[in-house]
Structure 1
Amino acid sequence: MEKSLFEQMGGTYTQVGDYLLPSLILPEQQDQSIGVWGQRHARYLKQHHKIIYMNLLTSGKLNNYLVDIDNQAENLFLQLVKQLAESEDITEELKAKDQMEWVAQMNNVCNRAREIVNSKLIFI
């Protein structure tokens, strides 16, 4: 009997009952934790870009991809918060003078930075 393409490429089969199933294993992945940005992007891919999600998952590249997206998003978020706070003159002096006003302005800055990161990296 002629070997299948899977067997020609070095694959093996395992018999389960009356069926021969291919013995598939994913390549070893680094066990890195995925932060909130990476999880949000994974959920978006799973819901709106199923083919890309499944291709990354089955090739074993999903975890590394999500860790990379998470790192990029976190760096962009921190950079944007710093730049927006400086441009709007939200300083430690304001924090010492009027804490509630400082918190309100920083929350505003964080929300805007979060929306920018979502639109540029997460929901694309």
Structure 2
Amino acid sequence: MIAETKLPKGVKNMELTYTMQGDYLLPDLTVPESPTLGKYGMLRRSYLKDHRDGIYTGMLLTGKLNAHLTEIDRQATEMMERLTAQMAKAQGVTESLKASDQMKWVQMMNNIRSAAEEIVLTELVYS
């Protein structure tokens, strides 16, 4: 049994199917899949939700949020790789250092990654 309802002006006719669950008819609805976000996309979403609620809600309602988060994630990942490579080159962190003194190489690379991530978070994610 499908109940007929009048649709608001401007809304196209939508056909819904229902499934009987016990004594109730439930609509067969599917939720659109959300994009797979990386670390920076998820951090951006949390930042917008907690600190820029108006922007977050506006983007969510217009359907632009997922595209924005995906783009921020892509840009942040690229920037992180580029900065890490540039800083490693500037500080003389090479494969020969890795072969001769692994602990020093690890220490320097961790410092470089931390500095690069701080820049990425400040410039892209939390701006």
Unaligned runs of 5+ in 2: 1-6, 13-30
Q: Deviations over 1:48-93 (max 9, x none)?
A: 0000000111111111110000000000000000000000000001
Of 93, 107, 115, 1:112 maps to 115
Partner of 1:72: 75
Query: Are 2:37 and 1:34 equivalent residues in the alignment?
Result: yes
Q: Normalising by structure 2, what TM-score?
A: 0.75
Of 104, 107, 114, 1:101 maps to 104
Report the Cα distance in structure 2 between the residues aligned to 1:85 and 1:120, rounded to whole angstroms. 20
Shift of 1:31: 4.9
Report the Cα distance in structure 1 between the residues aligned to 2:75 and 2:99, rounded to whole angstroms. 32
Find the residue that maps to 2:119 and give its secondary structure: helix
Partner of 2:61: 58
Partner of 1:11: 11
Greater helix share, 1 or 2? 1
Unaligned runs of 5+ in 1: 1-5, 13-27
Q: Normalising by structure 1, what TM-score?
A: 0.77
Report the Cα distance in structure 2 between the residues aligned to 1:49 and 1:31, rounded to whole angstroms. 21
The number of residues matched between the two structures is: 103
Shift of 1:30: 7.3
